[in-house]
Amino acid sequence: MLLSNKVCVITGAASQRGIGRATARLFALHGGRAIILDLDGGQAAEAAAELGEAHRGIACDVTDKAACVNAAARVVEEFGRIDVLVNNAGITQPLKFMDIEPKNYEAVTDVSLRGTLYMSQAVVPHMRAQKSGSIVCISSVSAQRGGGIFGGPHYSAAKAGVLGLAKAMARELGPDNVRVNSVTPGLIQTDITGGKLTPELRADILKGIPLNRLGDAEDVARSCLFLASELSSYVTGATLDVNGGMLIH
Ligand code: NAD
């Protein structure tokens, strides 16, 4: 049990095959209370109920600062603290550079980057007050290798922004014993690609993965568990690659 009685907020965790949902499941197995945030409160509540009575689902659009602050306040009101935040909510779009319209840029950067800022700002006062906390930010290998997998350049930019934000947060929040780290997954088999990942593209990507398989949501969840728990007690500002060797640098 690596997270006994730890209160763990995970954004974008309602999606059935998603990384957030797998992370919530694993955290619950390790004794954590999973607080599942997602756009649809009903789906978030269902996802939490599946894990058991100790867990909660709350509607929260991470691009809405007031919604983030309210969600954090509800968690603290009921459970008294927030120990872990996983900034997982994200969307992607397979667009070429010149096809990115303002609305595409806003949609993609708003969820990953603005959402990471707003949700972190919502939990940090509580973590600072309790002088402990772990924040895990889900970036992407796309940030490190300049896309070329599924998401367009605006997705790479948003996820690279997450890496910079997380490192700066780690520096600033370290003195309050709040650790901040990032995970950079490679291609993980979830529904984020919305059926647009063709078998040809999949086969092509596979050729470049030394471990010779695409990743599963659980592969990423296990790295989140490491970063959320005391196993990583002296790790902050780090980026953990979970990509099967797709990018070795
Ligand atoms: P997913 O589509 O299964 O899950 C994303 C979840 O985020 C959904 O439940 C969705 O409702 C939620 N969400 C979207 N906008 C939101 C908002 N404004 N507020 C709150 N929730 C919102 O996708 P996934 O593959 O599990 O992705 C999880 C994270 O991992 C994302 O940040 C994604 O960019 C990142 N990632 C995924 C892959 C991959 O190959 N699947 C690779 C690298 C990084």
Taking CA atoms only, the protein residue closest to ligand 1 atom 31 is 90
Domain range annotation of the chain: 7-240
- Measured from the Cα of 191, ligand 1's closest atom is 3
Residue ranges of the chain whose pLDDT lies below 70: none
Check residue 32 and report its DSSP letter: P
Q: Kindly state if the Cβ of 67 falls inside 6 Å of ligand 1.
A: no
Q: What are the catalytic residues?
A: 155
- Measured from the Cα of 17, ligand 1's closest atom is 3
The reply to whether the predicted model has a pTM over 0.95 is yes
Residue 176: other Cβ atoms inside 10 A? 15
Question: What's the CATH number for 7-240?
Answer: 3.40.50.720
Q: What is the pLDDT of residue 198?
A: 87
Q: How far is the CA of 175 from the centre of ligand 1 (A)?
A: 30
| Contact (CB, 8 A) for 91 and 107 | yes
Q: How far is the CA of 236 from the centre of ligand 1 (A)?
A: 23
Please tell me whether the interface predicted TM-score (ipTM) of this complex is above 0.95: yes
What residues have CB less than 8 Å from 196, skipping those under 6 apart? 94, 150
pLDDT digits (tens, 9 = 90+) for 45-100: 999 999 999 999 999 999 999 999 999 999 999 999 999 999 999 999 999 999 99
